[in-house]
Amino acid sequence: MEIIIGIILIVIVLIIIGLILRKRVYDAVDDLESWKLDVMNRNIGTELSRIKTLNLSGETQKKFETWKSQWENIASTDLSHVEEYLFDAEEAADRYRFPSARKALQKGNEILHTIEKDLERMLEELDVLLESEQSSRQGVEEIEPQLKELQQTITHDRYTFGKAEGIFNERIQALEEGLEEYHVCVSEGEYSQAKQIVEKITEEVSQLQEEMHLFPELLTMCADTLPKQVREVRNGIDEMRELGYHIQELGVEKEVDQYAKEIDTCLKSLEKGIIDDVPSRLEEIEENIKNIYTVLEKEVLAKNYIESKYLTYFATLEQIKKTFETTQSEVEQLRETYFIEDEYMEQFLTLEKTIQRMNNQVDAFKTDMEESNVTHSNLRDRLEKGLEEMEQLKEEHVGFTEIIHNLRKDEIVAKETLENLREQMQYVQRQLNKSNIPGIPSFIVGRIEEASEKQEKVLYILNKQPLDMGAVQHALTEAERTVEQLAEEVEMSIDQANLTEHVIQYANRYRSTYPILAAELLESERLFRKYEYELALEKAAEAIEEIEPGALKQIERYQSELA
């Protein structure tokens, strides 16, 4: 029983699946049928009838017949085949032969897709043909008045075109003949070729308009303006040569001759109606001629500058040489009595070489001025640079002479400083004598001897020939430092000795009461008599501070009040 029920359920499922699949086939058939009817109902004939506004001959007639034949074949044959495939699909679906139904539907679908592509291409070609006719016709309507205007320009202003008038007339005539060729193509239905002709004529008319617009100005430049400028430049060059300018060194004459030849070449091209690169070349020539004027003007300014400055140039050098001769004599004299350091001698030799080099430069400048083998612009640059170098040379010379003069000043100052040191030594001696101290410490005696020796060394170096001021300054510095140290040490020792006496005198009041203090005071007195004032002060100060703290400061304050 269960098996029977299972079989029944399977049959029911199969029937349902078959019905669903058959329904899908019927829906697909309906879709393709609607598509087919849509194609049949399209007004293709009306679309194709638009071509009847053109001349039905030649290319146009062939295309019309081809499109008509294609549409008739689609309507009568291709759509019939679609109908058959749809019928076969329904029949196969009724018999549950779904694979056969799908194949029939696929073939019908493919035919409809092909029909759509053919119709789309057909209508696009039709639109292109109609657009070609319309654009060509509009182009001709624009070209005809332009050609008429160009012809009127040639007729009314023929003198502005010179010998090229006939060539421009021929080009206009050739364009008019091209329009006649266009009309022939249109009458024969060759609209694609007619469009190509119009496009070519449009481009040529635009080019001819531009050339005819530029031509009169270019012809004027070649025949009159630029040749006149060339003549003026040549005349200016000749006048400058007569006035003594070094024109041949500028090289402008060859340039002017080359420009004249190029202008003549451009003129011959224009007479043949050929423009090409003539505008750019003429512009370049005109700019170059302006540059030549600039060069010549620069040469005039340079010559004026040279004439106003060259005497100053020569005179300045002579003045420098004369002044340097005095410096040379001074250096020779100084070398006999002074030692001149290598650094200063190098400066002196550098000045000497620089003057010699500038003397050579001036000689070369004079030669070039007389022989006319250098441009005035070049001479001016050299003159300006030379004047700047001379000013710098004068400054360096002044700086060197100051160094030389300072050598003698330094000697005088050194002698005065040595004398001052001797006076300081004498003052220190007087301080020691007036101080009433028991004696002079040994280190001060050594410092006095050292200061005397260093002063003698300074005097010895000052008396040597040639005099080395560097060595003098070094020895003098050492002597000054030694005397300063001596003065400080003497003053300190005197102060320490005086303070020690006061401390001992103050501490005597405690001597009988404090035996230890008395012993330390005896030691301090012993050191004092041996001229060890610093140690004696330390001993006495330590002793009194142990008994009476702060006593040392009180004694120092009292001593300063007495001073």
68-116 pLDDT, tens digit per residue, is 667 667 666 666 676 776 666 666 666 666 676 677 667 777 777 777 7
Place of tokens 């009292």: 558
> Does the pLDDT at position 343 exceed 80?
yes
| Cα–Cα dist 267/258, whole Å | 14
| Cα distance between residue 447 and residue 487, in whole Å | 10
**According to the model, what pLDDT value does residue 88 have?**
66
What SS3 state is found at 338?
A: strand
Phi, psi of 254 (to 5 degrees): -65, -40
What is the average pLDDT score of the chain? 79
User: Which residues neighbour 363 within 8 Å (Cβ) at sequence distance 6 or greater?
Assistant: none
pLDDT of 518-534, one tens digit each? 888 888 888 888 888 88
3-state secondary structure of 397: helix
Dihedral sign (CA 204, 210, 212, 215): negative
Q: What percent of the chain has pLDDT over 90?
A: 2
pLDDT at site 357: 92
pLDDT at 18 over 60: no
Distances in whole angstroms, Cα of residue 177 to Cα of each of 170, 173, 183, 303: 10, 6, 10, 65
Question: What percent of the chain is predicted at pLDDT more than 70?
Answer: 78
Tell me the pTM.
Answer: 0.53
Q: How many CB atoms lie within 10 A of CB 475?
A: 22
- Residue 407 · residue 338 · CB < 8 Å: yes
CB 205 within 8 A of CB 143: yes
Q: Is the pLDDT of residue 50 over 70?
A: no
Instruction: State the sign of the Cα–Cα–Cα–Cα dihedral 54, 55, 59, 60.
Output: positive
Mean pLDDT over residues 533-560, rounded? 80
Sign of CA dihedral 234, 236, 239, 245: negative
Whole-number pLDDT of residue 20: 58
Please check whether residue 122 is in contact with residue 70, taking contact to mean a CB–CB distance below 8 angstroms. Answer: yes
Kindly report, residue by residue over 128-164, the tens digit of the pLDDT: 767 777 777 777 777 788 788 878 888 787 777 778 7
Provide the pLDDT for residue 513: 84
Decide if pLDDT at 365 tops 80: yes
Read off the amino acid at residue 391.
E
pLDDT band for 373, please (50, 70, 90 cuts).
confident
pLDDT of 34 > 80? The answer is: no
Label residue 326 by pLDDT band (50, 70, 90).
confident
pLDDT in tens, 172-197: 788 778 778 877 777 777 777 777 88
Q: Is 12 exposed, middle or buried (0-12, 13-18, 19+ CB in 10 A)?
A: exposed
Report the C-alpha gap between 365 and 384 in whole angstroms: 12
DSSP string, 22-39: HHHHHHHHHHHHHHHHHH
List residues bridging with 339 in a β-sheet. Answer: 468
Per-domain boundaries in the chain: 2-139, 298-413, 435-562
Q: Give mean pLDDT, residues 338-346.
A: 76
Checking phi first, is residue 273 left (phi over 0); if not, alpha (psi -120 to 50) or beta? left
